[in-house]
Amino acid sequence: MRLVLFRPRHREEWIDRLREKGWVVRVLHEAHKVRGKLVVLDAADASWEKFVPVFVRKKMTVLLLSDENIPKEKWATIGISNVITPTDEPDFEAYVSSPSTSRESSLLFEEDENMEPDDPVPLSQRAQKAPSEEVIPQNEQHEQEKFPRFILGHEPVSSVSTPPSGSWAEKKNETPVPSVSAELAQYVPSVLAAYAAKGGVGTTTFLLHLAAKLAREGGRVCILDLDLMHGSVASTLQLQPKKTIADLVRRIEDVKASQACLLKTVMGFFIVAAPAQAGTLVLEREQLIAVVRFLKSEMDTVLIDTPVHFDSITKLALEQAEQLWLMTTDEPASIRNLGRMKPFLSALYPSPDTAVVWSRMREKIPKDRLRELLPWPYALDLPEDEAVGEAVRRGECATKGPYAARIHAFVDRYWFGRGILEEPRWNRFFRFKRF
């Protein structure tokens, strides 16, 4: 028996109880992906009322999950069938009437021809998202399924047997590699943000290599440089873009003019550069939301490079992300600074899946020790690698060496599921307790 739960907020215990009773709970955060007979909305999501008409038009039974008592006159008139609490044990099948007693019709979640197929398709084919029926709220944050989609597995990626070979010049005419199933490709986040509490830890370098890997897979990827004072994405690539985020903000209503602000690199991914002159752009909240929304409509994945200083715009940028990567080196100052950010990162709402990436590790540190140093789980550790420095000095990304190899291994294993397809999905991903 299957159940769709739409945009839940910290409902892990309730979901666990349902699963123990035999329910297959599918968590979704995008309305156009919801199919079937019944959907449960979480009242903890501030925008739940705006999605009720969407599911009513789909002729679905809509239940509301709430911790508080909501007057019937509020929910009954807009199409909610009933309100349940996390302590209830509702008989969901009773809410769905079906004339057929067949196994197919008894499922509360039924896939149809509009659902993503199970057949292998290249990541690049995900660029055209399925049309959505909802009117998207202006302040909506498109989160993705928290479980089992999170980035971490049982063990962080810390080694790989054979690093990738070849140069960008050799690869530029190749067709995008291996097809991956749509089911596995959806683990790649739509928006990923990286943040460091100290400069010089390698955040930009990491995002450049991650973007290059995803671009080689055939995905449309863009790095948004939000360090408006000292943006380094374009300068690291030795580029002098004619158009920057300032032009994108100014022409955001014009699709063609906005697309002209996306600079494609020789490595296949796009960038939105920071202003050429520091201090020439003060980004407003609505402008940032509009920029991220535009990039999501154009790209498979948006990577946000954030500044060290933590202001309201940086906070908003992190709240747009499905996954947040906290970057640090093994230097005491870098670790301490990041640890001091815990109260601010805990206040993010919506709260992205968060993990630590250890950069430029000079020696192997035991996992237990890493957990003692910082309160968040860690995704992978990236070694000091001379090949990276040499490539960056040329304005490129390294394709050889342990640094690139570990990023590639992580993406292949935990986002594309390569090499562990024989394991059950729930053994490859886990949930963690939020701080």
The verdict on pTM exceeding 0.85 is no
92 and 194 housed in the same domain: no
Q: Is 153 inside any structural domain?
A: no
* Alpha carbon distance, N-terminus to C-terminus of the chain: 32
Residues 107 and 209 in one domain: no
User: Which residue ranges of the chain lie beneath pLDDT 70?
Assistant: 1, 96-187, 419-435
What pLDDT score does 226 carry? 97
Torsion of CA 166, 167, 169, 170, to 10 degrees: 0
Number of compact structural domains in the chain: 2
Whether 183 and 105 share a structural domain: no
For residues 208 and 100, state if they share a domain: no
Q: Are residues 410 and 264 in the same domain?
A: yes
Out of 115, 143, 178, pick the residue that ends a domain.
115
- Determine the structural domain holding residue 393 and report its residue range: 168-428
Is residue 273 assigned to a domain?
yes
Distance CA 273, CA 23 (A): 46
pLDDT at 419: 63
Choosing from 75, 90, 115, the residue where a domain stops is 115
Q: Is 19 left (phi over 0), alpha (psi -120 to 50) or beta?
A: alpha
Q: Which of 60, 69, 66, 71 is nearest to 31 (CA)?
A: 60
Q: Say yes or no: 288 and 408 in one domain.
A: yes
Q: Does 335 lie in the same domain as 214?
A: yes
Inside any domain, residue 123 = no
- Indicate whether 359 belongs to any domain: yes
- State the DSSP H helix or E strand holding residue 54, giving kind and residue range, or none if neither: helix 48-57
Quote the pLDDT of residue 408: 94
Q: pLDDT, tens digit, for every residue of 84-97?
A: 998 887 778 777 65
**CA 271 to chain CA mean position, Å:** 18
Q: For residue 394, is it within any domain?
A: yes
Q: Is the peptide bond before 350 cis (omega within 30 degrees of 0)?
A: yes
Q: Is residue 120 part of a domain?
A: no
- CATH number of the structural domain spanning residue 222: 3.40.50.300
The neighbouring-strand residues paired with 41 are 6, 64
Q: Do 76 and 182 sit in the same domain of this protein?
A: no
| pLDDT score recorded for residue 1 | 62
Nearest to 232 by CA among 187, 201, 189, 268: 201
Domain contains 46: yes
DSSP string for 209-260: HHHHHHHHTT--EEEEE--TTT--HHHHTT---S--HHHHHHTTT-HHHHHT
Q: Judge whether 201 and 360 are in contact, CB under 8 Å.
A: yes
Residue 61 covered by a domain: yes
The pLDDT value recorded for residue 288 is 96
Burial environment of residue 160 by CB neighbours within 10 A (0 to 12, 13 to 18, 19 or more):
middle
In 3D space, the residue among 220, 193, 172, 175 whose CA is nearest the CA of residue 314 turns out to be: 193
Query: Do 353 and 285 share a domain, yes or no?
Result: yes
- Residue 315 CA to residue 352 CA, distance in Å, equals 11
Residue 56's CATH number: 3.40.50.2300
Residues 308 and 211 placed together within one structural domain of the fold: yes
- The tens digit of pLDDT for each residue in 301-310 reads 999 999 999 9
* 79 and 211, same domain (yes or no): no
What pLDDT is stored for residue 157 in this prediction?
52
Task: Supply φ then ψ for residue 242, to 5 degrees.
Answer: -75, -25
For residues 65 and 198, state if they share a domain.
no
Give the burial string for 316-350 (b: 16+ CB within 10 Å, else e).
bbbbbbbbbbbbbbbeeebbebbeeeeeebeeeeb
The whole-number pLDDT of residue 93 equals: 75
